[in-house]
Amino acid sequence: MQAMPPNFAVYSLIGLVALANDLVDYATVVFTITGFWLAVLKVIDVATGIILITWAFMSGVQKTTKSKKAKNRIWRFVFSWVVEMIPILGELSPTWTITVFLAWREHRKIYRQSLAQFHKDRQSQQQQQTQEQSEAQLEGKYAQQMEGQQVLQEAV
């Protein structure tokens, strides 16, 4: 089964959600240090985590991979969410953006491997068909030669 190509529009939208969250974290890091807005930022982080983890779980991307890799992707998003919940560290690290980028890169790699395997299988099928056709032609020529020899023997 051939993997589906990564949908650039979907990854762009999810990437924008992640980037927006990370930019809000950067912009309000001063308020986080003083404790002001900390609850608001954590609510935003929880909402972003729910959106991105749900996307990672429900996306068709994981249907193209082995189940172990799909679970690793989900755990990668969960780990990013845990890091985002740590005060200061969560605000200073662009974990969501990096995680979405790594998911896109992994999906693109899987698609390219699948496409290469598809072309390899197709080429081997074509070679096999060509070989079968040449064998059939040789058998046909051999049968014609045998018929010709039988005709000559009957004539003699």
99 domain residue, yes or no: yes
Evaluated on CA atoms 121, 126, 130, 132, the torsion sign reads positive
pLDDT, tens only, 117-153: 888 888 888 888 888 777 777 777 766 777 767 766 7
pLDDT, tens only, 92-110: 889 999 999 988 888 888 8
Q: In the predicted model, what is the mean pLDDT of the chain?
A: 79
46 domain residue, yes or no: yes
Tokens of 117: 């395997």
131 domain residue, yes or no: no
Tokens of 39: 């609850």
Instruction: Give the count of domains, the chain.
Output: 1
The helix or strand, by DSSP H or E, that contains position 90, with its residue range, turns out to be helix 89-92
Task: Provide mean pLDDT across the span 36-51.
Answer: 85
For residue 40, the enclosing domain spans 8-117
124 domain residue, yes or no: no
50 domain residue, yes or no: yes
Cα angle vertex 35, ends 34, 41, to 5°?
120
User: Looking at residue 67, what is its pLDDT?
Assistant: 53
pTM of full prediction above 0.85: no
148 domain residue, yes or no: no
